[in-house]
Structure formats: C-alpha cells, structure tokens
Amino acid sequence: MRTEGTKSFPTPFKTIHIRQWAGRLALSLSGVNWPLLLTGTALFGIFLTALATIQFGTPNLAGNDGYYHIKLAQIMREQGLRPPFPWLPLTILNPEAYYDHHFLYHVLLMPFTYGDLRSGAKWASIILPAFTFLASRFTCDSRPKKNSE
C-alpha cells in the first residue's frame, strides 16, 4: 500500500537486501586474521593501561621537554607549520638559523592541542607510544623465522 509522496518497497526486497549485505560482510570478515587482531587489541589495551598509569600518576608531565613540544605544536596549529621562533636568540635555535628538528613529532601532536595542553600532552604520551609498541611488536612477528634444524 502506497501513500501519496512516499516510496515504499515490498518486504521481500528489504529482506533480500539485508541478506545480501550480511553475506558480503561475512565474506569480508572471513579473511580477517582473528588471532592477530585479538592479540593486537589486547596488547594495545595493555600498553594504554601501563602508559596511562605512569602519565596520570602525577598532575604534571613526566619530564621537561613535553611542555615545549606541546606548546610549539599548538603554535604551529594556530600560526602555520613554520611559525617565527624568536625565543632563544643565543642558541642554535636562533631566529636566523632556526629549523624544527622535531617537525613531524610536532605535527603528530597538533590534534592533542585542542583543550587543555597538559592533558593533551599526557594523552599524546599515552596513545603515540602505545601505537609505536604495537607496531614494533608486529614488525618483529612479521620477520621470517629461521629454521631450528
């Protein structure tokens, strides 16, 4: 039964469409390496928990450099990727010869500069190393194994 101005499909069409979609999903999930996915998820959770315990064990950042890096990432987000750097004129970071030797790290930190910088730096110090540990673990696992014969 159709009303004026609305489109309605018969029930069998909806059922067939959902069954086709479910079949495609099942085929795409059949190629997933479930042990690898579950191991990666568990390890990522362990890494996150361990790093969060360290970072949130104190209200401050662990170390001194984190304050500089998160602030420069915020400045780069607000002023562009090459902001002026007039703050250390008597060092190798003077305005005439300045280059950001942590450029890509500062770019990675930019999403964490929205909101409170200290908590953003803490979350960056949790999430980025957790992905690094996970990538290192899977890189080591993907190397060819030597025969023990």
Question: Percent helix, strand and coil across the chain, each rounded to 5?
Answer: 65, 0, 35
Q: How far apart are CA 119 and CA 61, in angstroms?
A: 9
Kindly report, residue by residue over 81-110, the tens digit of the pLDDT. Answer: 999 888 888 888 788 878 888 999 999 999
43-72, pLDDT tens digit by residue?
A: 899 999 999 999 999 999 988 899 999 999
Tell me the C-alpha to C-alpha distance, in Å, between residue 47 and each of 93, 130, 131. 34, 5, 9
